[in-house]
Amino acid sequence: MVDYYGELCTRMYESNKSIAEGKELDFFLSFVKDKNMKVLEPMCGNGRMLIPFMQEGIDIDGFDISDDMLNLCKEKCEKLNLNPNIINDRIEEFKSDKKYDLIMIPFGSFSLLPDHIVDQSLDNMKLMLKEDGKLLLTIITKKSEPEEILNWVQTNCIQFSEEKIVESKKVNFDVKNKMLHTKLKYDLIQGDTVIKTEIMDFPMRLYENDEFENTLTNNGLQKVVIHEVVNGYGTGTSFYVYECTI
């Protein structure tokens, strides 16, 4: 069975990507100049960015296509006495009566979208932005030739109280469409017995230098500013955020 961020993937993700913090969080919070601003986080997942924003008293909405991720976000919020406004929806189809001051997609999630969905999604987000609103997007760039993995290779193992989840993957790179296709397998193991398996297709669009800026401008977005967040995910890491307006 192929799941998209199903139960086992969600548990694995939560084990080391629960809540945004440090310079990554500070960067995105710096764009909220007024607590009355309305913020939208498409692809909000387990609430790693949405929850800290709520804790700061910021009016933020979110959506995602994974029920498991959304349910986990709700459980975390309940423990913190927070009431999230999150729904299951697709970025190219989401509709709202609201207009937002800030729309943000952190952690490279926008690279999960193939090109034809990118154009639809940008058009849709433009409809959601206020005239002076800002869109913040992180992407994954192609730094070197991807290594293909033809057979299952174990990449992670998380031990829980009486069981463990083992992650394995296969990888191939679609040169024409610049898509890195990773097939992830999650095995839930109790003792020596595999009691549940999830398989997930995880496509990732790898952008060349300057390519994504051209994508934004070709879709009618303006005033593109590229920010490098040094040590954003911890010491020795960095990522780029594209800021733009309509």
Q: Is the dihedral of CA 113, 184, 44, 108 positive or negative?
A: negative
CA 39 – CA 42 distance, rounded (Å):
10
Q: Which tens digits make up the pLDDT trace of 26-53?
A: 999 999 999 899 999 999 999 999 999 9
Residue 120 per-residue DSSP state = H
The residue that leads in pLDDT, 5 or 39, is: 39
Indicate the pLDDT class of residue 73, thresholds 50, 70 and 90: very high
CATH fold, domain 7-141+207-245, is: Rossmann fold (3.40.50)
Query: Regarding the domain delimited by 149-205, which CATH topology (the fold level of the hierarchy) does it fall under?
Result: N-terminal domain of TfIIb (2.20.25)
CB 239 within 8 A of CB 138: yes
Lookup: tokens for 29: 């919070």
Structure confidence at residue 65 (pLDDT): 96
What dihedral do alpha carbons 71, 72, 74, 76 form, nearest 10°? 170
What's the whole-model pTM score? 0.94
Q: Is residue 63 over pLDDT 50?
A: yes
CATH 3.40.50.150 region(s) of the chain? 7-141+207-245
pLDDT-derived band at 22, boundaries 50, 70, 90: very high
Report d(CA 62, CA 55) in Å as an integer: 15
Pick the residue with more confidence: 3 or 38?
38
Q: Which regions of the chain carry the CATH code 2.20.25?
A: 149-205
- With a cut of 90, say whether residue 3 has pLDDT above it: no
Among 192, 189, 196, smallest CA distance to 163 is for 189
| Residue 114: pLDDT over 70 | yes
Judged against a pLDDT cut of 70, whether residue 2 lies above it is answered with no
Amino acid at 176: K
Identify the pLDDT of residue 1: 44
- Confidence at residue 144, expressed as pLDDT on a 0 to 100 scale: 87
Note the pLDDT tens digit of each residue in 120-167: 999 999 999 999 999 999 999 998 889 999 999 999 999 998 999 999
How do residues 178-229 score in pLDDT, each as one tens digit? 999 999 999 999 999 999 999 999 999 999 989 999 999 999 999 999 999 9
